[in-house]
Structure 1
Amino acid sequence: MSGSLNITAATVDPALLDLPWNLPLEVWPEDTIAALPKGISRHLVRFVNLSGYVVAIKETSAELARKEYDMLRTLQRLDIPCVDPIAVITNRTTTEGEDLESSLVTRHLKFSLPYRALFSQTLRPDTATRLVDALAVLLVRLHVVGFFWGDVSLSNTLFRRDAGAFAAYLVDAETGQLYDGLSNGQRENDLEIARVNIAGELFDLQAGGKMAEEVDPIAISDGIVNQYRTLWKELTGSEQFDSSERWRINDRVQRLNDLGFDIEELAIKTDETGTKVRIQPKVVDAGHHSRRLLRLTGLDAQENQARRLLNDLDSYTASFGKQDLDEEVVAHEWAQRVFEPVIRAIPKELKGRLEPAEIFHQLLDHRWYMSQNMGRDIPLAEAVSSYVENVLRHRRDEATVIDPPTGAITLPVDVVADDWRSTV
C-alpha cells in the first residue's frame, strides 16, 4: 500500500489499511472478495470482506466519491433508507507509482438483494409490481425532504423483504441533489426517469428469460407514476370539509399511518364563516409501526414486518386478558415468551436465510395455513418445526455471514402462547 493513501471517514476501521489499495479493484485477490449478487453499475463495484462484515467498494473519481459520501451521510441524518457510507479512499497509486481511481466504501446492507437477484429466484409475476411500489414509497420519501435523485431505477436500489412486500433502499446517490424543496417539474422529471428506466430494466429481464412473458413492462413502469401520485397526494395534499365533519381529521391521520407515515405537524385552518376546515400535513415521516415496535420491544424491523408483529402482540394481549396492563409491560413479556424463543429455536445454519422479523412473519403465515389445512390449532413448537423443515431450509441465504451449524431444533420451554391463534 502506498504511503500517500488518504482515507476520509467518520470512524476509520483499521482493517481498511490492510486492503490492497495499490491494485486496481478488478484484480483484487479472490480471498478478499465476498461472493454476493450485485446490480448493474456504471462503475466497477465489488464486495469485500472486512472485519467480520462486508463492504461494497466502488471505483470512481475523487470528486464524485466525496460528493456521494457526503450525500449518503446527509440522507441518513434525514432518516432516509440508504446504504451506510464508511469511507472515501483517495491518492491511490500502484507500487510503480501509477495513479488509480478513488473509491467509495459503503457497508453492505444485510438481507438486501438487487432486483436481478430477486428475479433469478423465479419469483411470482407480481414481484415486479411490488418492487415498483416499494420504489415509489422511497421516491416519495426522498422528494419530501427535497432530494432530486436524477437517476431513479431498480438498479440503483436495494430491496429487503418486508412481510410479503419489499422495502427499498437508495444505493447510488451519485447524481442526487438536495434542495430546500422540489418544484413540480423536478418531481415530474424524476418520475419520467423512473418510468423509462424501469421499463428498460424489465424488458431486459424479459429478454433474458428471467421474467414471465405475460408481464407487461410498460404497464408496470407506468405503475410507479400512479403509486407515487397517490402517495404524494395523501401525504402533502390539502383537504377541505365542513366543520361538522371533524372526524375526517382523524381519518386522514389514520390513512397516513396505514401507509406507514407519521404526522409531525398538521396545518388546520377555518374560513371566515367558520364552517369549513382545511387540513394539510406539514411534516411527514415514514415508520409509524416500526417506531412503535422499537419503542415497545426494542425490535428493529421493516414497516410491514412491524405491523405484523404488532398485530401478533395485540392478539397475545387479547388472548391472555392483558388489556388492562401497561402496554410496554405486555410487549416486553410477548417478546420474551413468544418472539425471542422462536428466533432462538431456528438452527444457526439457517439464521442467515432471512431477517428474524421476516422469519417470524412467515412463521405466522405458515402456522395459520397449517391450522386451516388440519382443522385445528397448531402448537407453536409444531409450527416452528414444520416451517424450518418445509420452508426455511429450502431458501437461499440472504444474509452476508452465516453462523456455524448447530444441532436439531428445540423450542424453549418458556413459550406459553401455544393456545392462541396468531393473526395473519
Structure 2
Amino acid sequence: MSALSVTAATPDPALLDLPWDVPLELWPNDTIAALPKGISRHLVRFVHLGGEVVAVKETLAELARSEYELLRTLQRLSIPCVDPVAVIVGRTQSDGEALEPVLVTRHLRFSMPYRALFSRTLRPDTAVRLVDALALLLVRLHIVGFFWGDVSLSNTLFRRDAGAFAAYLVDAETGEFHEHGLSAGQREHDLEIAQVNIAGELLDLQAGGRLDDDIDPIETSHGIVSQYRSLWNELTGPEQFAQSERWRINARVQRLNALGFDIEELSIHTDESGSTVHIQPKVVDAGHHSRRLLQLTGIDAQENQARRLLNDLDAYLARHPAAGDDPEQLAHEWVERVFEPVVNAVPRELRGKLEPAELFHQLLDHRWFLSQQQDRDVPLAEALTSYLDSVLRHRRDEAAMYNPPTGAITLPIDIVDEPEADWRSKV
C-alpha cells in the first residue's frame, strides 16, 4: 500500500488502523456498524472508529476536499450538519491498483434518515414535520449565503425535537458559498430542486406501498415552498406601520425569538412626515432558546427541546422567588434537583432510547396527560415511574445499532415514528 494522505483538523490515530487498501464494499464485518442510512449516489458505509461510529464515503478527491471544507465552514457558522472528520487519498490495493479517495464524517447520534422514521407506512403528520424541518434548515443555509444545490430528504438527517424534528445537512457535495449572499433567483432554484426531489422521494415511497393514502406527494412537496417563504418573510421581510403602533417593533422581535432566532441588527426608519415607521431585520441568528439554556444550565439541546426545558426552568424559578437570588444559581439547582435526577433514574438498558433533553420533554408531556386523566397534580417522580414502565421501555432504541447489513435499503420493522398521541394511548 502506498503512502496515505490524511487531511484532518484533529487527526485520530485510529484512522490508520482501518483497511484502506481494501475496496469499501469488501471491508470486513467487524469494522462495519449496522446503522440505517439513506440513499446515496456514492457508496457509504458506517464504520467503527475507536469508541464512536463514522460514515465513510467513496468519492473523487476534489469533491471530498471541497465537501470537507464546506462542512467545516457550516459548522463554524453553527448550521446543523454532520461533523467532517477527514479526507483520505492515496489509497491502493496490495496489487497497486488505485482505490477511490474517501470523505469521513462523524455519525450523528440519535439521528435517522427519513426512511427510518417508518416501517410500512409514512403518516401524513410525519411527512409534514419532516418537510417543515427541512424548510427551516434551508432558510438557515440561505441566510448565511449557502446554495445547497441538491436539497432533498435523502440528503438530510433528522433528530427528534420536542414533538417536531430538527434537520441536519448530510451531503454538501453540490453546495457553494456566496460571499455577498444569495440572489432571489438562486434561492428559488434551491426551492425548485427541493420541491422536485421531495415529490420524487414520496412518489417512490408511494410506488412501494409505504405512503399513507391520505398523502399527496405533489401537494406535500409544495409544503416546503410555502413554509420556506413564510419563514423567510418573517425573518428578513420589511414591515411598516403607523408611529402610534411602535409596540409592533417589540412584537416583531418577540416573534423572531419565538421562532428560535436572535436579531443581530434591526434597521428602523421613519418617513418624512414622521407618521410611518419602517423596520427591517438585517441579520438573524438561529438557536435563541438553545443558547439561553446552554448559558444557564450547560445543557445542549435542540431548539424546541430547549424551549420546553426553559419553560420548566422558568416555572421552577417562579416557585423560588427569593429576593436577591441569582437566576444562574437557581438554574444550577434546577439541573441538580430536577433534570439530572430524571436522567440518572433511567435504567442503563433504556438510556439509548432517547436523548436526555427529548426524554425530559416527553416526561413533562406524560406528566401533564396523567394529571389531566386523574384530575390531580401528579408528582414528577410518580410520572417518571409511569413513563419508564409504560412508554420508554416499549420504544425502539434510537442510539443503538441495527442488525440488517448497512448496505441494505430494507429497514428493520420496528423503526416506526411514534407521535405523542400514540404513546399516550398506552398509558
What TM bracket, shorter-length normalisation?
Answer: over 0.9
Using the alignment, how far apart are the partners of 2:301 and 2:366 within structure 1? 20
Deviations 1:50-102 (A, max 9, x none): 11010000000001000000100011111111000000000100011000000
Task: Give the residue type in structure 2 aligned to 1:59.
Answer: E
Partner of 1:15: 14
Partner of 1:119: 118
Report the Cα offset of residue 323 of structure 1. Answer: 7.6
Contact 2:270 2:276 in 1 (8 A): yes
Contact 1:269 1:278 in 2 (8 A): yes
Task: Give the residue type in structure 2 aligned to 1:286.
Answer: A
Structure with more contact order per residue of length (Cα contacts < 8 Å, sep ≥ 6): 2
Contact 2:82 2:170 in 1 (8 A): yes
Larger mean Cα displacement after TM superposition, 6-15 or 116-125? 116-125
The alignment's C-alpha RMSD in Å is: 1.4
Using the alignment, how far apart are the partners of 1:324 and 1:48 within structure 2? 53
Task: Give the residue type in structure 2 aligned to 1:13.
Answer: D
Contact 2:110 2:399 in 1 (8 A): yes
Using the alignment, how far apart are the partners of 2:321 and 2:77 within structure 1? 40
Deviating above 6 A after TM superposition, structure 1's stretches of 4 or more consecutive aligned residues are none
1:376-415 correspondence runs (5 A): 376-400=376-400
Instruction: Decide whether aligned partners of structure 1 residues 285 and 236 sit closer, same or farther in structure 2, where only a CA change above 3 A counts.
Output: same
Contact 1:322 1:330 in 2 (8 A): no
Larger mean Cα displacement after TM superposition, 142-151 or 328-337? 328-337
Using the alignment, how far apart are the partners of 1:305 and 1:121 within structure 2? 28
Partner of 1:250: 250
- 3-state DSSP class of the match of 1:126? helix
Contact 2:264 2:284 in 1 (8 A): yes
Report the Cα offset of residue 331 of structure 1. Answer: 1.0
Establish whether residue 208 from structure 1 lines up as the match of residue 202 from structure 2. Answer: no
Partner of 2:330: 330
Structure 1, gaps ≥5 residues long:
403-424
Instruction: Decide whether aligned partners of structure 1 residues 294 and 193 sit closer, same or farther in structure 2, where only a CA change above 3 A counts.
Output: same
Partner of 1:135: 134
Partner of 1:59: 58
Larger mean Cα displacement after TM superposition, 236-245 or 268-277? 268-277
Partner of 2:308: 308
Structure 2, gaps ≥5 residues long:
403-427
Deviations 1:6-56 (A, max 9, x none): 110011100000000001110100000001000000000000011101000
Contact 1:317 1:330 in 2 (8 A): yes
Report the Cα offset of residue 216 of structure 1. Answer: 1.2
Report the Cα offset of residue 217 of structure 1. Answer: 1.3
Using the alignment, how far apart are the partners of 1:88 and 1:121 within structure 2? 37
Using the alignment, how far apart are the partners of 1:333 and 1:123 within structure 2? 42
Deviations 1:245-273 (A, max 9, x none): 11111000011111111101111112222
- Give the fraction of aligned pairs with identical amino acids, expressed as a percent: 75
Task: Give the residue type in structure 2 aligned to 1:222.
Answer: H
Partner of 2:423: none
Using the alignment, how far apart are the partners of 2:322 and 2:100 within structure 1? 61
Task: Give the residue type in structure 2 aligned to 1:246.
Answer: R
Using the alignment, how far apart are the partners of 2:381 and 2:265 within structure 1? 45
Report the Cα offset of residue 124 of structure 1. Answer: 4.2
1:359-370 correspondence runs (5 A): 359-370=359-370
1:163-312 correspondence runs (5 A): 163-180=162-179, 181-312=181-312
Report the Cα offset of residue 229 of structure 1. Answer: 0.2
Instruction: Decide whether aligned partners of structure 1 residues 206 and 107 sit closer, same or farther in structure 2, where only a CA change above 3 A counts.
Output: same
1:78-89 correspondence runs (5 A): 78-89=77-88
Using the alignment, how far apart are the partners of 2:127 and 2:401 within structure 1? 27
Using the alignment, how far apart are the partners of 1:383 and 1:363 within structure 2? 7
Instruction: Decide whether aligned partners of structure 1 residues 371 and 252 sit closer, same or farther in structure 2, where only a CA change above 3 A counts.
Output: same
Instruction: Decide whether aligned partners of structure 1 residues 200 and 78 sit closer, same or farther in structure 2, where only a CA change above 3 A counts.
Output: same
Instruction: Decide whether aligned partners of structure 1 residues 273 and 105 sit closer, same or farther in structure 2, where only a CA change above 3 A counts.
Output: same
Partner of 1:144: 143
Report the Cα offset of residue 3 of structure 1. Answer: 3.9
Using the alignment, how far apart are the partners of 2:66 and 2:85 within structure 1? 13
Task: Give the residue type in structure 2 aligned to 1:261.
Answer: F
Larger mean Cα displacement after TM superposition, 22-31 or 274-283? 274-283
Establish whether residue 24 from structure 1 lines up as the match of residue 20 from structure 2. Answer: no
Report the Cα offset of residue 377 of structure 1. Answer: 1.8
Task: Give the residue type in structure 2 aligned to 1:305.
Answer: Q
Contact 1:147 1:176 in 2 (8 A): yes
1:93-108 correspondence runs (5 A): 93-108=92-107
Establish whether residue 157 from structure 1 lines up as the match of residue 156 from structure 2. Answer: yes
Using the alignment, how far apart are the partners of 1:372 and 1:314 within structure 2? 22
Contact 2:37 2:112 in 1 (8 A): yes
Task: Give the residue type in structure 2 aligned to 1:210.
Answer: R
Using the alignment, how far apart are the partners of 1:74 and 1:10 within structure 2? 12
Using the alignment, how far apart are the partners of 1:126 and 1:316 within structure 2? 33
Partner of 1:414: none
Contact 2:33 2:401 in 1 (8 A): no
Report the Cα offset of residue 400 of structure 1. Answer: 4.7
Using the alignment, how far apart are the partners of 1:272 and 1:390 within structure 2? 65
**Structure 1 length normalisation: TM-score?**
0.92
Using the alignment, how far apart are the partners of 1:324 and 1:123 within structure 2? 52
**Structure 2 length normalisation: TM-score?**
0.92
Using the alignment, how far apart are the partners of 2:384 and 2:120 within structure 1? 24
Using the alignment, how far apart are the partners of 1:299 and 1:359 within structure 2? 13
Task: Give the residue type in structure 2 aligned to 1:281.
Answer: P
Using the alignment, how far apart are the partners of 1:252 and 1:32 within structure 2? 52
Using the alignment, how far apart are the partners of 1:315 and 1:308 within structure 2? 11
Using the alignment, how far apart are the partners of 1:333 and 1:143 within structure 2? 39
Using the alignment, how far apart are the partners of 2:394 and 2:175 within structure 1? 39
- 3-state DSSP class of the match of 2:266? strand
Partner of 2:417: none
Partner of 1:318: 318
Using the alignment, how far apart are the partners of 2:22 and 2:255 within structure 1? 53
Contact 2:262 2:285 in 1 (8 A): yes
